[in-house]
Amino acid sequence: KAGVTQTPRYLIKTRGQQVTLSCSPISGHRSVSWYQQTPGQGLQFLFEYFSETQRNKGNFPGRFSGRQFSNSRSEMNVSTLELGDSALYLCASSFSTATTEAFFGQGTRLTVV
Interface with other proteins (CB under 8 A): 4, 6, 31, 33, 35, 42-43, 45, 48, 55-56, 58, 90, 92, 94, 97-107, 109
Say if residues 72 and 83 touch (Cβ distance below 8 Å). Answer: no
In whole angstroms, what is the distance from residue 57 CA to residue 29 CA?
19
Toward other proteins, which CB reaches closer, 17 or 41?
A: 41
Say if residues 16 and 80 touch (Cβ distance below 8 Å). Answer: yes
Toward other proteins, which CB reaches closer, 15 or 57?
A: 57
Toward other proteins, which CB reaches closer, 85 or 94?
A: 94
